[in-house]
Chain A
Amino acid sequence: MAHDPLLTYRTLVTHFTDFLTVAIHTILHERNIYPRTSFLSARKYNYAVRQSRHPKVCEWINDAIAAVETELLKSAVDRVAVVIYTKDLKPTERYMFDVSRFPAVDPTDLDTRLERRGENGDPVPIVPLADMDEQFRATMGKLTGCRGVLKPLPEGCTFTVAIELKSEGQPPVGHPQPWMPVQPELSETSGEKHTRNTVHPVRAVAAGELVFESWIEQAVDAT
Chain B
Amino acid sequence: MGSRLEEKSKLVRKRIEGHTFEHEGGEEYDGSKFGGFTDYFRRKKIKLQNLDAQLRAQSEDKAKIFKGVVCHVNGYTQPSLNDLHTMVVQYGGGFIQYLDGKTMVTHIIASNLTPKKKEEFKRYRIVKPAWIVDSVNAGKLLPWDAYRVVDEGVGQKVLGFENGNVVTQANRKTQGYKEQTDTSWYTSQLKAKELQRSESSSRKQPSFTQTITPQEEIEDEEWPLPEITSSIERALEEADDFEDDELPESVERSEDALDTTTKLETPPPTSPPPAPADHSVTGRPIPEPEPRKSPANQTTPLRPRQGSQEPDYSMAIVRDSAALRSLSPTRLATMTAEEHNALLLSDPRIRKSTVVHPDFLEQYYRESRLHHLSTWKADLKAQLQALAAEKSASQKREQQQLKMKKLPGQRRYIMHVDFDSFFAAVSLKKYPQYIDKPAVVAHGNGSGSEIASCNYPAREFGVKNGMWMRRAQELCPEVKVLPYDFPGYEEASRKFYDAVLATGGVVQSVSIDEALVDISMICFAQSGTDGVKRNEGGVFREQAKADDIAQKMRDEVLEKTGCAVSVGIGGNVLLAKVALRKAKPAGQYQLRPEEVLDFIGHLEVQNLPGVAWSIGGKLEDIGAKLVKDLRELTKEKLINTLGPKTGEKLYEYARGIDRAEVGDQVVRKSVSAEVNWGVRFENQEQVDEFMHGLCGELQKRLWKEQVKGRQLTMKVMRRAGDAPRDPPKHLGHGRCETVSRSVLLGVATSEQGVLVREAIAMMKSFNISPGELRGIGVQMQKLEGVKVGVGVEGDRELGSQRRLPFKTGQSSKMPVVAKEVVEGSEGEKAAEDPILDDVKTPVKAQRFVDASNLPGVPVRPANPSTPSKRLLNTLGTQFVLPTQVDPSVLAELPEDIRSKLAKLVRPSAPPPPPAKAEAGPAARPLSRAQSPTTIVALPNQSQLDPSILDALPEDVRAEILGFYNNNKSPGNRKRGEQALLPQSPRKVRSVPITKQPLKRKRGAAAQAEGTVDPEFLAALPEDVRREVLAQQRNARLQRAGGIDLSLHQRSKAQRHNRKKKTGDEEAALLERVLVLPPRPAKPTFTSRKLTELPNLREAVRAWFLEFANEGPYEEDVVALGRYLGDVVVEERDVGKAGAVVRWLGWLVGEVGGGEGGGEEYAREEWARGLERIREGVQRAAGERGLGRLELG
> What chain A residues lie within 8 Å of B1182 (beta carbons)?
194-195
Q: Return the chain B residue nearest A105 by Cβ.
A: B1074
Interface size on A, as a range, is 35 or more
Contact B38 A194 (CB under 8 A): no
A112 to B1187, CA, bound (A): 38
- Are B1188 and A197 in contact, with the CB atoms below 8 A? yes
Q: Which of B275-334 contact A (CB under 8 A)?
A: none
Contact of A204 among B38, B1074, B1134, B1186 (CB under 8 A): B1134
Q: Given the interface contacts A134-B34, A199-B1134, A201-B1135, does A111 sit within 8 Å of B1070 by beta carbon?
A: yes
User: Quick check: A108 and B37 within 8 Å, CB to CB?
Assistant: no
Within the complex, which residue of B1072, B1132, B1133, B1187 is in contact with A198, where a contact is CB–CB below 8 Å?
B1187
B1065 within 8 A of A: yes
B1047 within 8 A of A: no
Q: Which of B1074, B1078, B1136, B1181 contacts A109 (CB 8 A)?
A: B1074
Does chain B have a CB within 8 A of A166?
no
> In the bound complex, do residue B38 and residue A199 qualify as a contact, i.e. CB atoms below 8 Å apart?
no
A198 to chain B, nearest CB (A): 5
Chain A: CB-nearest residue to B1066:
A111
User: Complex: how many Å from CA A111 to CA B1079?
Assistant: 21
Contact between B1190 and A149 (Cβ–Cβ < 8 Å)? yes
The 10 closest A-B pairs by CB, nearest first: A197-B1187, A201-B1135, A130-B37, A204-B1133, A201-B1134, A112-B1074, A199-B1189, A194-B1187, A115-B1073, A116-B1076
Asked whether any CB of chain A lies closer than 8 Å to the CB of B76, the reply is no
Residue pairs across A and B with Cβ atoms less than 8 A apart, 27 shown, are A1-B37, A6-B1070, A108-B1065, A111-B1066, A112-B1073, A112-B1074, A113-B1070, A113-B1072, A115-B1075, A116-B1079, A117-B1075, A128-B37, A128-B38, A131-B38, A134-B35, A135-B35, A149-B1190, A190-B1185, A196-B1187, A198-B1189, A199-B1186, A200-B1190, A201-B1135, A204-B1134, A213-B1132, A215-B1134, A217-B1187
Interface flag for B570 (CB, 8 Å)? no
Query: CA–CA, A116 to B1078, complex, Å?
Result: 7
B residues near A207, Cβ cutoff 8 Å? 35
Are the C-beta atoms of B34 and A198 separated by less than 8 Å?
no
Contacts of B1186 in A (CB 8 A): 194, 197, 199, 215, 217
Q: Contacts of B38 on A, CB cut-off 8 Å? A: 1, 128, 130-131
Q: Could you tell me which residues of chain B, from 324 to 369, have a CB within 8 Å of some CB in chain A?
A: none
Q: A199, B35: Cβ atoms under 8 Å?
A: no
Q: What 1/0 flags go to A197-223 for Cβ under 8 Å of B?
A: 111111110010101010101101000
Q: Give the residue of A108, A128, A200, A213 whose beta carbon is less than 8 angstroms from that of B1069.
A: A108
B265 interface residue per 8 A CB criterion:
no
Tell me whether A198 and B1188 are in contact (CB under 8 A): yes
Is the C-beta of B41 less than 8 angstroms from some C-beta in chain A? yes
CA distance A111 to B1067 in the complex (A): 9
B residues less than 8 Å from A218 (CB atoms): 1187
Q: Does A103 contact B (CB under 8 A)?
A: yes
B1073-1097 toward A: CB 8 Å interface, digit per residue (1/0)?
1111011000000000000000000
B1124: shortest Cβ distance to chain A, in Å?
A: 12
Known: A128-B38, A131-B37, A131-B38; 4 extra A-B contacts, CB below 8 A, are A116-B1075, A134-B37, A199-B1181, A207-B35
Closest Cβ neighbor of A217 among chain B residues: B1187
In the complex, A113→B1135 CA distance in Å?
31
Compute how far the CA of A134 lies from the CA of B1134 in the bound complex, rounded to whole angstroms.
Answer: 19
Residues of chain A lying within 8 A (CB to CB) of residue B30: none
Q: Mark B906-948, 1 if CB is under 8 A from A, else 0.
A: 0000000000000000000000000000000000000000000
Distance to closest chain B CB from A84 (angstroms)? 15
Checking B1069, B1076, B1134, B1190 against A103 with a beta-carbon cut-off of 8 angstroms, the contacting residue is B1076
A131-B1188 in contact (CB<8A):
no
Q: Is B1138 an interface residue when CB atoms closer than 8 A count as contact?
A: yes
CB distance from A73 to the nearest CB of B (A): 14
Q: A residues 76-117 with Cβ under 8 Å of B?
A: 98, 100-101, 103, 105, 108-109, 111-117
Q: Which residues of B contact A204 (CB under 8 A)?
A: 1131-1136
- In the assembled complex, B100 has its CB within 8 A of some CB on chain A: yes
Instruction: Decide if A2 is an interface residue (CB 8 Å cutoff).
Output: yes
Asked if A112 meets B1069 with Cβ closer than 8 Å, knowing A213-B1132, A217-B1186, the reply is: yes
Residues of B within 8 A of A131 (CB): 35, 37-38
On chain B, the residues within 8 Å of A112 by CB distance are: 1069-1070, 1072-1074
Taken residue by residue from 1168 to 1192, chain B's Cβ proximity to chain A (1 for < 8 Å, 0 otherwise) reads as: 0000000000000110011111100
Residues of chain A with a CB closer than 8 A to B1134's CB: 199, 201, 204, 213, 215
B279 CB to closest chain A CB, in angstroms? Answer: 76
Q: Which residues from chain A contact B1066 at a C-beta distance below 8 Å?
A: 111
A contact patch SS: mixed
Q: Which residue of A lies closest to B101 (CB)?
A: A2
Task: Please report which residues of chain B, range 146-166, place their CB below 8 angstroms from some CB of chain A when the two chains form the complex.
Answer: none
Question: What is the minimal beta-carbon distance from A217 to any residue of chain B, in angstroms?
Answer: 5
CB pair B1069 A109 closer than 8 Å: yes
Whole-angstrom CA separation of A217 from B1134 in the bound complex = 12
The residue among B1065, B1066, B1073, B1185 with the most chain A CB atoms within 10 A of its own CB is: B1185
Known A201-B1134, A201-B1135, A203-B1135; judge A115-B1076 contact (CB<8 A).
Answer: yes
Task: Check A198–B1190 contact: CB distance below 8 A.
Answer: yes
Residues of A within 8 A of B1069 (CB): 108-109, 111-112
User: Do B1132 and A101 touch (CB < 8 A)?
Assistant: yes
User: From residue B969, how far is it (CB to closest CB) to chain A in Å?
Assistant: 43
A220 to B1188, CA, bound (A): 10
A26 to B755, CA, bound (A): 77
Complex interface: chain A residues within 8 A of B1188 (CB): 195-199, 220
B988 to chain A, nearest CB (A): 34
Q: Which chain A residue has the least Cβ–Cβ distance from B1069? A: A112
Q: Considering the chains assembled together, what is the distance between the CA atoms of A128 and B37 in angstroms?
A: 9
CA distance A163 to B1074 in the complex (A): 27
> B606-638 vs A: 1/0 string, CB under 8 Å?
000000000000000000000000000000000
Q: Which residues of the other chain, B, contact A105 by a CB distance below 8 angstroms?
A: 1074
Instruction: State how many angstroms separate the Cβ of A13 from the closest Cβ of chain B.
Output: 14
Contacts of B1185 in A (CB 8 A): 190, 194
Q: What residues on A are CB-neighbors of B1078 within 8 Å?
A: 116-117
B1130 to chain A: closest CB distance in Å?
10
Closest chain B residue to A100, Cβ basis: B1132
In whole angstroms, how far apart are the Cα atoms of A162 and B1075 in the complex?
31
A103 neighbours in B (Cβ, 8 Å):
1076
User: B1092 to chain A: closest CB distance in Å?
Assistant: 11
Look across to chain A and name the residue whose beta carbon is closest to the beta carbon of B1134: A201
Among residues of A, the one whose C-beta sits closest to the C-beta of B1187 is A197
Known: A201-B1189, A204-B1134, A213-B1134. A113 touches B35 (CB 8 A): no
**In the complex, what distance in Å separates the CA atom of A194 from the CA atom of B1079?**
30
Chain B residues contacting A98 (CB-CB under 8 Å) are: 1132
A195 to B1182, CA, bound (A): 8
Using Cβ atoms and an 8 Å threshold, which residues of chain A touch B35? 131, 134-135, 207
**Cβ distance B379 to chain A, nearest Cβ, rounded Å:** 62
In the assembly, what is the distance between CA of A211 and CA of B1135, in Å? 14
Which A residues touch B1136, using CB under 8 A?
A: 204
Residues in B neighbouring A111, C-beta threshold 8 A: 1066, 1069-1070
Q: Which of A9, A100, A108, A200 has the most CB of B within 10 A?
A: A200
Nearest chain A CB to B1190 CB, angstrom units: 5
* Minimal Cβ-Cβ distance residue in A for B1135: A201
**Cα distance, A199 to B1132, chains bound together (Å):** 14
CB-CB under 8 A for A114 and B1138, given A131-B38, A199-B1190 = no
Please name all residues of chain A whose beta carbon is closer than 8 Å to the beta carbon of B1075 when the two chains form the complex.
Answer: 115-117
Residues of A within 8 A of B1070 (CB): 6, 111-113
Q: Which residues of B contact A220 (CB under 8 A)?
A: 1188
B1076/A114 in contact, CB under 8 A: yes
Cα A199 to Cα B37 with chains together (Å): 31
Choose among A112, A149, A199 the residue with the greatest number of B CB atoms under 10 Å from its CB.
A199
> What is the distance, in angstroms, from B97's C-beta to the closest C-beta of chain A?
13
Task: Give the residues in chain A near B1138, CB-CB below 8 Å.
Answer: 201
